[in-house]
A = this chain, B = another copy of it.
Amino acid sequence: MTGWVEKLDAAARSSGSLVCIGLDPDPRRMAVSDVAEFNRAIIDATSDLVCAYKPQLAFYEALGLDGLRALEKTISHIKNIAPDAVLIGDCKRGDIGSTASAYAKAMFDVWDFDTVTLHPYLGVESVEPFTERADRGAIIVCRTSNPGAAELQDLKLVGDGVEGTLYEHTARLASKWNTGGNVGIVVGATYPAELATLRGQHPDMPILIPGVGAQGGDVEAATRAGVNSDGRGVMISSSRGIIFASEEAGTYAGSARSAAETLRDEINEALEGQN
């Protein structure tokens, strides 16, 4: 059975792109009012430029049942138009075992995501219902892209086998939980030094790297710090910087394409410059 990690590697190779587009629809900035229609135009304009799409569930939930119906249509459209792209549910769930099993059912059996983002705080039981699915998996939130990420994640630990910071230990746990080869980590592009540290400690785990684009992360630094020895193994994710590159009805899809193309090229140039 092919898992999402193999699917990601195949998509990165066939598309020649490490770009992940975050589909975070915000009615205040969308040029058309229908979320599914907005996303469809973005997907149609970018499907050859990405290795992954990442709907952020909050933006659909904020629109109530209509938003979730739009998510349903969006996922179905991605599966039709871009079946090779990894479909990431950015939901950041994390709960006790019985509840985590219900969330895994929601994310995989209801929504059909290939993999999802999860919080580490409740330990292995909150992750297992996701990782025990050989054809699916999980990406553990480790070092996030927001300005206040350090508040908890940089706390220094003391004890046998837990040296370093909380985010380093989270990555260590993610690696320990990765018995099936289907676990990745989230590390923000806004912290390239931390990204380089974690890649050094975990040469093989895929890394979801949000924070380029609207959040200001440096593409070249993040790319060089994040890729594995094959020059892949990352999903460099931009949401607002691509989907709201233009907020005009006539141009938003084309502008999203241009922004995705620019990001892909910046990443690839950073890789070439490195070799």
Contacts and interface: CB of A to CB of B under 8 A. Distances in A.
Contacts of A64: 106, 110
A122 interface: yes
A62 B157 contact: no
Nearest to A96: B146
A192 interface: no
A197 to B, nearest CB: 18
Interface residues of A, number: 59
B173 A152 contact: yes
Given A96-B145, A120-B152, 15 more contacts: A24-B99, A26-B102, A58-B93, A62-B110, A65-B65, A65-B72, A92-B93, A98-B240, A119-B121, A123-B152, A123-B153, A124-B151, A151-B173, A152-B169, A155-B169
Interface stretch (A158-166, A221-229, A245-253, A263-271): A158-166
A35 to B, nearest CB: 12
B146 A58 contact: no
Contact of A68 (B68, B100, B103): B68
A120 B121 contact: yes
Nearest to A106: B61
A169 B157 CA distance: 12
A147 interface: yes
Which 7 pairs of residues, A with B, have the shortest CB-CB distance?
A123-B151, A123-B148, A61-B106, A58-B102, A96-B146, A62-B105, A62-B102
